[in-house]
Chains A and B, each alone.
Chain A
Amino acid sequence: MSAESAEIHDRLEGFDTTIHAPNRLRICALLDAAGEAEFGLVQKRLDLSASVLSKHVTVLMDAGYVEQRKAVRDTRQRVWLRLTRRGRDAYQGHLAALRAIVGPPDPAL
């Protein structure tokens, strides 16, 4: 195996089937960029129902990728979501795997 193909193989190892589900990938992208986001905001931004978002968040929490914090706002309890260190690493690894699949940009373009 050449050094280049070994490097691509390593990057593909970062592919994460838990994250790859489209909505979960988008949730991770939003949390990675925002740092921490309120459940209602994630729902609105990604155009998901509360139950669908809740289901995906549960999967991500079970994997140890997302953690939640509860806070009271306007007398109502709000849930804030954030990526854990492990989740952030897994998300970055998954992005690297996707880039490896896409391949290098065409120098002719």
Chain B
Amino acid sequence: METHGVRLTPEQAHAALADTEHVRASAAALSAAPWPNWFFVTLTLYIAAIPITFGGFMADPDWLLPRSAWMAIILTSAAVYLALFAVAGKAWRTKTGVALRFDVLPKRATVPLAVGLPALVVGAAFAFRATGRPVWLIAASLIGAAVSVGFHLAFVRLHRKTP
């Protein structure tokens, strides 16, 4: 078939598509390079801490610390986390040579996470506020940590698929 002066057979077009798919898969695996271990641990601890700190902030009456202290902890930990995220992101880009992307994992995995994790944090805090039982916060914290570990392992697996 002649296209814009270039004669191309279906076989040649198929070979070109196969080649681009190979390059795409290779780049996608590179984009799935997992975080360095130090930041994976930081991220997991931060996610695990969120239900506890948010629950403490929401508690009525005060639980362990005054509400203002919980707010200070929330803001400080968020600031520290964001600073470490910036450092880890730069190190990751330097190591891999590609842009940091947030659409590497399929939406069927990321959309439930984006909806479920905030619901878990808020739900556990309200359940704690209503019942006064910190087990809600501890359970949410453990689930958050497990999700973080699960996603890290998913990235490790995807990254190993490098052609």
Give A contacts to B, CB under 8 Å.
12, 15-17, 20, 22, 25-26, 28-30, 32-38, 40-41, 45-46, 73, 82, 95, 97-99, 101-103
Contact = CB atoms under 8 A, between A and B. Distances in A.
Contacts of A34: 27, 30-31, 98-99, 101
Nearest to B97: A41
A15 B12 CA distance: 14
B3 A101 contact: yes
Contacts of B94: 73
Contact of B4 (A17, A95, A102): A17
A101 B27 contact: no
B106 interface: no
Interface in B1-43: 1, 3-6, 8-10, 13-14, 16-17, 19-21, 23-28, 30-31
27 contacts: A15-B3, A15-B4, A15-B6, A16-B4, A17-B4, A20-B16, A25-B16, A25-B20, A29-B21, A29-B24, A30-B23, A30-B26, A33-B28, A34-B30, A34-B99, A35-B98, A35-B99, A37-B27, A37-B97, A38-B98, A41-B30, A45-B23, A95-B20, A99-B17, A101-B1, A101-B8, A102-B10
B9, B25, B30: residue with the most chain A Cβ atoms closer than 10 Å: B30
Chain A at the B interface: SS class: helix
Contacts of B16: 20, 22, 25, 98
A12, A32, A97, A101: residue with the most chain B Cβ atoms closer than 10 Å: A101
Contacts of B14: 102
A73 B21 CA distance: 30
Given A38-B98, A101-B1, A26 B19 contact: yes
